[in-house]
Structure formats: C-alpha cells, structure tokens
Structure 1
Amino acid sequence: MTRIAEVSTLVSMTAFGCLKNSGYDAVIMRCYRPEGATDRNCAASVANAWNAGMGHVDVSVALTAETDVTAASSVSGYIADNSVKYGMVWLDVQPKARWKDEQADNRRAFTDVLKAFTDAGLSLGVCATAGEWSQIFGDDFTAAARLPLLYRDPDGLPNFAGFTKFGGWTRPRLKAYNENLARCGVQLNSVVDPS
C-alpha cells in the first residue's frame, strides 16, 4: 500500500521528511488554483518532496467551469520553465458550486480543457467524487473514462471497498480517504494506492 500526501500549500523539505517518516511515500501537489492561475508554491514544494526522499510526485490542476483551455499551456509552461519533475497531472474536478447549472455547458467546458491538456502532451488522470460528477456532468458522461481515476470518499478506509461505478470508471487508481488533516505542520488529504 502506498500512502500519498495531497497538498496545496508551500511545504518545506523538513516537513516532507517528517511526512515520509510518518509513512507517506508520495505527494500530489497542486499546480493550478481554482481561481484560474498557476500555484507559485508548486515548483518549490515538488523539489522539496523529491529532496526529502519521496518516491513519487504528481501535480494537480483545480478544474472549475471557469478553467479555460489556456490552463493547459499555463501549466505545461510553468512545469517546463521551473523544471518541475512529476509523474502525472491530476485534473481535480472542484465542487458543484464552482460549475454552471447546465450539465451541457459543464460537459463542453470539461471536454475542451481535457483536449487542451491532452494536446499539450501531459500524462493525465482525473480526481472526482461520484456525487459531484453526477451533479456537474451527469451519470452518462464518460469523456474521461480512459484516464486513471482518483476518487474522493473521506470514509477513513484506505481501500476501494465502497467504490461504485461512475463516469465510465469501473475501478479507480487511487482514493482520497481522509481530508483536511494536519500532519507535520502540513494541511493535507490522505490518498492511498492499496495495490
């Protein structure tokens, strides 16, 4: 089992070292904010995670109805300009309040952004909850089903036992099972790869 710290603030090498000693093996660091801008803490935090000995580091992009196709070039440019070493970019679907009322509008926005990130050559995954996905896009929206899924279910259980199919996904890759934790002076979500 791999435990992953999902973070969205500047984290020092010392704090990542503490997290590693506490059983975290990997990191997902936010690199694009819900407000529609690259996260200036991303490059330093990613470097600190690697330097602390984390075995794997991914990055995430907060997606809302306001995220447009330029986010892909912003993120890929930021990653290149700052030599950010990462494995995958997780497209993190933000809560319903950050999306439009019409599912057709949300589907179009998501599909356009997904195409832009794919065209930028980034390795992608999607982070979502079943309930939010259904409300935002509809149960039958499967545009991202070919991508790995990190699903959010803060039930405190580091396994996939409660997973139900949605969005065309029949099995997740990762699960965020505890949210808004404080560990080693860092606010984080605990994510697990139980394989």
Structure 2
Amino acid sequence: MKFFVSALLLIGAASAARNGIDFIQPVSTATFQCIHKAGYSFVIPRVFTSVGTLDHTGIQNVKNARAAGLTDVDGYIFPCLRSNCPSAANQVKETLDALKSAGTHVSTLWLDIERLAWPANHASNRAFIEAMVREAQAYKQQVGIYSNYYNWQDIVGLDYHGQSSLMLWWATYDGIKDFSKFAPFGGWSRPTIHQWEGTTTGPCGVSVDMNYVP
C-alpha cells in the first residue's frame, strides 16, 4: 500500500507539470486553440518592446489567447533604456493602460531583465527596475522578473536581492525541463518558470521559446 500511495503521488506530481511558450509573432485565436490542444497551458506574448513602443501584436495575442480559452495568459515588457524612451514607470503604465483599453489583461506582467543597452551603473539599473515594479503594483498587477545568473550579475549585481519576493522566470537554454541546474542568485532559491529552449518551431508552427513549470 505504501508503494501504491507513493506511486500515486509521483503520478500526481508529474501530471501537475505544465508547458508554456513565449513569442512575438502574431497568433490567431484558432492557432491558440491548436496550441492549447497540443498540451500547452500558458502563453507569454511580448507586450512592450526594447525600442520603447507598445507591442500591439502582443496585446492582440493576449486577447486571442483568452478568446481561445486559455486562462493563464501573461505578458512581458522588454524595457527600453534609451534616453528618448518613456520612463520606467511610464513603460509599465502605457502597457497596462493599453491592455485595459483593448479589453483584456495579463495574469502576470514579466519584466525582461537581460543584457541589452543597460548602463554600467548598477544603482541606476536597480532604481529603474524598482520603478517598474512599483508602477505595476500600484495597478494591483502581479509582476515577476525574467532573468538569469549572468544577466542579473551584469545589470544589478549578484548582491542585489531587492526583487527576491517576486516570481522568477529563469532563462537558461539547457534543454532540460526541470530546475536541476539552477544556481541561486539575487535572493531567489528557486524559480517559478524555466525557459529551457530558445527560438524553435513550437506547437502548431509558431516560432517560440519553450517554458516549463513543475
């Protein structure tokens, strides 16, 4: 009996694992239905770009995914660091206002913290991220961080634990759908999501990154 119960627990744990995708290309409602049927339970379109503009394709993707019956629909902001870009807070504000105007919402808004045009000053980078988080929280929006050990090290420093209370979407293309290679950083002892494979042809012909939640 003990073995039988243990086996059931293992089966339950395995069945709880979920697969998801993130992407930037336009995806129709019908294709999202195909993606859902293929066993993918969460999707994360980009909703703001690194050049400082709303991603209207991504916002429509959020709408289409929800119309297809997906309920775990997130979005991510790729922050713009150029001097002519909106402020950190306004990048979040514009994104959330645009989603609301489109009649939709994201379950979690992820902030993509990876090396692209970030200044060398860790203090200013920390302040930028903090401003984004505060704005999301002012909207009562659940917010999380997308990053990995080396991006975090270069952008804000490994000693910065200021966002460790948020969920971590961990990006490491190791081809393994688990957390076995995770090395703690930034105050996180465990991620929430593992982005385990980069740009590839995913379900239903969509070009995606592959993600996993245990």
Calculate the TM-score normalised by the size of structure 2: 0.84
Structure 2 Cα separation of the partners of residues 51 and 118 of structure 1 = 26
Name the SS for the 1:4 alignment partner.
Answer: strand
1:61 to 2:77 alignment:
yes
1:82-117 deviation per Cα after TM superposition (whole angstroms, max 9, x unaligned): 1113211111113x2320122222122222222222
Q: Distance in 2 between matches of 1:150 and 1:97?
A: 18
Quick one: distance in 1 between partners of 2:116 and 2:99?
29
- 1:35 corresponds, among 51, 54, 73, to 51
Distance in structure 1 (CA, Å) of the matches to 2:105 and 2:125: 31
Q: Which has the higher helix share?
A: 2
Paired position in structure 1 for 2:103: 83
Q: Which moved more, 1:58-67 or 1:83-92?
A: 58-67
Letter of the aligned partner of 1:186 in structure 2? V
Q: Which residue of 2 aligns with 1:181?
A: 200
Aligned with 1:114 (options 111, 120, 133): 133
SS of the aligned residue for 2:78 comes to strand
Are residues 1:10 and 2:30 paired? no
Separation (CA, whole Å) in 1 of partners of 2:80 and 2:53: 12
Task: Please tell me whether Structure 1 or Structure 2 has the larger radius of gyration of its CA atoms.
Answer: 2
Q: Distance in 2 between matches of 1:68 and 1:149?
A: 19
1:52 equivalent in alignment to 2:72: no
Inter-CA distance 82–174: structure 2 relative to 1 (3 Å threshold) = same
Distance 1:47 1:20 in 2: 15
Pair 1:70-2:90 in alignment: yes
Aligned partners of 2:117 and 2:205: how far apart in 1? 29
Q: Aligned partners of 2:42, 2:81: CA distance in 1, in Å? A: 29
Specify every segment of 5 or more residues in structure 2 that has no aligned partner in the other structure, as ranges: 1-16
**How far does residue 190 in structure 1 lie from its aligned partner after superposition?**
0.7
The match for 2:5 is none
Counterpart-to-counterpart distance in 2, 1:8 and 1:185:
13
Structure 1 consecutive aligned stretches of length 4 or more whose deviation exceeds 4 Å: none
Once residues 157 and 104 of structure 1 are traced to their aligned partners in structure 2, the CA distance between those partners, rounded to angstroms, is 34
SS of alignment partner, residue 64 of structure 2: helix
Aligned length: 193
- Cα deviations by residue, 1:32-68 (Å, 9 ceiling, x for unpaired): 1111111111232112212333241111111243462
